Amino acid sequence: MAFRPLTARAPAVLLREAKPLKAIFGHAQRLGHLQRLVESQLQPAAREHCHVASWREGSLLLIVTDGHWATRLRYQQKRLQRQLQLFDEFASLTRILFKVQPPTVQQGAAGHTINLSTDAAATIQATADGITDPNLRAALERLAAHAKPKI
């Protein structure tokens, strides 16, 4: 008897039928809706720095990218709370909490590449030739090796 794999199903079907996925998808949609409501009451510059993390028992938790924006939003907290309470979704809002969580940076994205002209590399190599200290000479030669080849 040969193994027969299950037929592939469309992602939309899986999200509607699989109970765990359906619950996760529903929660994500709810948070997305709350995020849009919060963004509608924030200043345009603050929108990219503030994200809804949770909403339960009258407490709204907002994740902010840095302390600067957290401070600015705390100064506007009462106004924001009053405006959000006008929406049915936030009718029972009693407090807003701000937590700072810097965005994660992808590994290697912050690396610095050295672009060195061939003339600069020749000058560094000439300097390295006149150095007697072997460690300094080796470092200068490694630096000179970063030159861009002429096309």
pLDDT tens for the 151 residues of the chain, in order? 677 777 887 877 777 777 888 888 889 999 999 999 999 999 999 999 999 999 999 999 999 999 999 999 999 999 999 999 999 999 999 999 999 998 886 655 555 666 778 888 888 889 989 888 899 999 888 888 887 666 5
User: Which pLDDT score is estimated for 38?
Assistant: 95
User: Which pLDDT score is estimated for 13?
Assistant: 78
Number of H helices, E strands in the chain: 6, 3
Cα–Cα distance measured from residue 46 to residue 51, given in angstroms and rounded to the nearest whole number: 10
Q: Measuring CA to CA, which residue among 90, 13, 22, 32 is closest to residue 56?
A: 90
DSSP string, 49-95: GEEEEEEETTEEEEEESSHHHHHHHHHTHHHHHHHHHTSGGGTT--E
The two tokens of residue 97 are 């909490």
User: Which pLDDT score is estimated for 117?
Assistant: 83
